[in-house]
Amino acid sequence: EAKKETRGFQTEAKQLLHLMIHSLYSNKEIFLRELVSNASDAVDKLRFEALSNDSLFENDSDLKVTVEFDKEAGTVTVSDNGIGMSRDEVIENLGTIAKSGTSQFFQNLTGDQKKDAHLIGQFGVGFYSAFIVAKEVEVFTRRAGSAASEGVHWTCTGEAEFTVENIEREQRGTTIVLHLKDDEKDFADNWRLRSIIKKYSDHISIPVTMQKVNYDVADDESDKPAKDAAPEYETINSATALWTRSRSDVSDDEYKEFYKHVSHDHADPVVWSHNKVEGKLDYTSLLYVPAKAPFDMYNRDAARGLKLYVQRTFIMDDAEQFLPLYLRFIKGVVDSNDLSLNVSREILQQDPNIDAMRSALTKRVLDMLAKMAKSDAEKYATFWKEFGQVLKEGPAEDFTNREKIAKLLRFSTTHTDKPDQDQSLEDYVSRMKPEQKKIYYVAADNFNTAKSSPHLEIFRKKGIEVLLLSDRIDEWLMGHLVDFDEKSFQDVGKGALDLGELDSEEEKKAQEESAKAHADLIERVKKALDGKVSEVRVTHRLTDSPACLVVSEQDMGAQMRRLLEQAGQ
């Protein structure tokens, strides 16, 4: 129905809008980046849908974004001839936030504007950033292929509600009009807008155009469009897909801005890797490591994966098949020359070429991380804080790359006795005693319990380093690591600890004697604990504590057992 209706925003949308309006003051100009980014996405989507339905172009295949302004009216307008939106899509896309885990995310907000503004970064800034500078936003849109009468007009002035109504609209695509706040009118300025586009949207692969200025008129008139003539437009950005350019042509800033476009992230990436592969497979990849873990990293339904292009044509977002799950935090683009333009998610799952690309891209990422660890330990430490837990899923999921992943892991150990996970297995091995054959670890619920475990006494006495594990995933990890540098891992809380090779002859003798001497005691303890334990024995692993409980080699670890208990098993 064409009638005008007023609707309330979904609660989460309202919260995001509120945050946007009140907290993102430091960098207001990003609103234009977000709107141009959306316009470019809309053009990508149209191109994709037109692959199977040419008529969607409606005889206008000159795809572009146009930015206009009106100084007197105090407006900035961003238009595209992309896919457009139907009435339902407008309500869905501009009135609600569809991302899974959103409500938990908003429960984490503190009310402290500074902290919360930081959180928005993880969420993605998006369309609502228009409200940083606008007191009113109007959207005029029509979906490609729909009748002119199916146009939609959306308006919003406040934080609580918006209106939608059907309108006549000849033009396919979307026009967004920002009515600038009184103190943001400066944005309605030719040079200002041009420089913002150049700065943030240069990498956008379609033309971002503005009206040409008339250089013939007096200086103070120079930012007004030429009068009396049909307006002429010129392209402001480079308008080539960034990943198709050669590495030496692309500046760090361009890489960073491109990242924000593909990731919908607000912060700069930490590192990236841009590669062209030719030969049996022919593709280009540009992969980024974000600075911050997304709020929904542990949400099974969260979007993940790369943006897939085939011969420069956008095919899909979130193509999951190109990287394993434990690298789900990686963002970026892959552009294939081998895949067919009508490739679907189902086809991706079966195509053997995809497996080859997946293993090559996985290696790329692992190499990029190894390089970062080597060249900038501090940077790597912040990366580890954000994503270490996910990387620990790696050895279980990706047997082939077990050794590569193991090198990337970081642990806290008795070497530093600090909770910071900053020691590599290579560090550990380099400090091993000449006679030592195993890598020892202790696992507990938290760092302090691990650190003060009685199982460590003998190791501390002998000066043997032990990994201190206390993350939920650690025992799972250890179950799959098996060995490193040909040294097996040994849980010091498990089984009869054989430190034989580390004991001197004298110590061995003393141990045998004490076992004999205490045989009586052992019998009595066994009786007293009958049915509660499976074995009692004299141990040499304690120095201060009189006794300790250990699980047998075959049992699951204590931490795993607690995990299962919590899960009600």
Residues interacting with Mg ion, by CB under 5 A? 38, 126
83 binds, among ligand ADP, Mg ion, none (CB under 5 to 8 A by kind): ligand ADP
86 touches ligand ADP (CB under 6 A) = no
Q: Identify any residues that bridge with 277 across adjacent strands, giving them in sequence order.
A: 283
| Out of 174, 401, 413, 559, the residue judged to bind ligand ADP by CB under 6 A | 174
80 binds, among Mg ion, ligand ADP, none (CB under 5 to 8 A by kind): ligand ADP
Say if residues 164 and 5 touch (Cβ distance below 8 Å): yes
Residues in the chain: 569
User: Which single residue brings its beta carbon nearest to ligand ADP?
Assistant: 126
Q: Any binding-site annotation on 166?
A: no
34 touches ligand ADP (CB under 6 A) = yes
To the nearest whole angstrom, how small is the minimum distance from the Cβ of residue 37 to Mg ion? 5
Q: Any binding-site annotation on 135?
A: no
235 touches ligand ADP (CB under 6 A) = no
83 touches ligand ADP (CB under 6 A) = yes
Say if residues 335 and 244 touch (Cβ distance below 8 Å): yes
85 binds, among ligand ADP, Mg ion, none (CB under 5 to 8 A by kind): ligand ADP
CA 324/CA 282 separation, integer angstroms: 21
- For 464, which DSSP code? -
To the nearest whole angstrom, how small is the minimum distance from the Cβ of residue 43 to ligand ADP? 8
Which DSSP string corresponds to 90-135? HHHHHH----TTHHHHHHT--S-HHHHHHHHHHH---GGGHHHHEE
207 binds, among ligand ADP, Mg ion, none (CB under 5 to 8 A by kind): none
- For 541, which DSSP code? S
| Out of 38, 75, 413, 470, the residue judged to bind ligand ADP by CB under 6 A | 38
Within 13 Å of residue 207, how many CA atoms lie on the same side as its CB?
A: 13
Q: Any binding-site annotation on 95?
A: no
Handedness of CA 226, 230, 231, 234 (dihedral sign): negative
Q: In the numeric block, which tokens belong to residue 66? A: 């146009």
End-to-end CA distance of the chain: 54
Handedness of CA 307, 310, 316, 320 (dihedral sign): negative
95 touches ligand ADP (CB under 6 A) = no
To the nearest whole angstrom, how small is the minimum distance from the Cβ of residue 500 to ligand ADP? 60
Each residue 108-147 as x (binds ligand ADP by CB under 6 A) or -, in order, gives: ----------------x-xx--------------------
Which DSSP string corresponds to 145-204? TS-GGGEEEEEE-SSSEEEEEEE---S-EEEEEEEE-GGGGGGS-HHHHHHHHHHHHTT-
Collapsing DSSP states into helix, strand and coil, what is residue 489?
A: strand
Question: Nearest-CA neighbor of 358 among 314, 290, 305?
Answer: 305
Collapsing DSSP states into helix, strand and coil, what is residue 55?
A: helix
To the nearest whole angstrom, how small is the minimum distance from the Cβ of residue 78 to Mg ion? 12
CA 507/CA 497 separation, integer angstroms: 15
Say if residues 119 and 8 touch (Cβ distance below 8 Å): no
497 touches ligand ADP (CB under 6 A) = no
To the nearest whole angstrom, how small is the minimum distance from the Cβ of residue 269 to ligand ADP? 16
To the nearest whole angstrom, how small is the minimum distance from the Cβ of residue 203 to ligand ADP? 16
| 144 vs 286, beta carbon nearer ligand ADP | 144
Q: In the numeric block, which tokens belong to residue 418? A: 């600090």
| 127 vs 283, beta carbon nearer ligand ADP | 127
| 176 vs 458, beta carbon nearer Mg ion | 176
82 touches ligand ADP (CB under 6 A) = yes
Q: Any binding-site annotation on 123?
A: yes
Q: Any binding-site annotation on 174?
A: yes
| 129 vs 362, beta carbon nearer Mg ion | 129
Give the interface segment with ligand ADP, choosing from 78-86, 151-159, 302-310, 551-559 (CB under 6 A). Answer: 78-86
| 81 vs 539, beta carbon nearer ligand ADP | 81
| 124 vs 151, beta carbon nearer ligand ADP | 124
Q: Any binding-site annotation on 80?
A: yes
Q: Between vectors from CA 480 to CA 370 and to CA 535, what angle results, nearest 5°?
A: 140
Q: Identify any residues that bridge with 175 across adjacent strands, giving them in sequence order.
A: 79, 140
To the nearest whole angstrom, how small is the minimum distance from the Cβ of residue 38 to ligand ADP? 3
Longest dimension (CA), the chain: 111
Q: Identify any residues that bridge with 551 across adjacent strands, giving them in sequence order.
A: 494
Q: Which residues contact 305 (CB under 8 A, 6 or more apart)?
A: 317, 318, 319, 320, 321, 322, 323, 328
To the nearest whole angstrom, how small is the minimum distance from the Cβ of residue 102 to ligand ADP? 12
174 binds, among Mg ion, ligand ADP, none (CB under 5 to 8 A by kind): ligand ADP
| Binding site listing | 34, 38, 80, 85, 93, 99-101, 122-127, 174, 345
Known binding-site residue numbers for ATP:
34, 38, 80, 85, 93, 99-101, 122-127, 174, 345
Binding footprint of ligand ADP on the chain (CB under 6 A): 34, 38-39, 42, 80, 82-85, 93-94, 124, 126-127, 174, 264
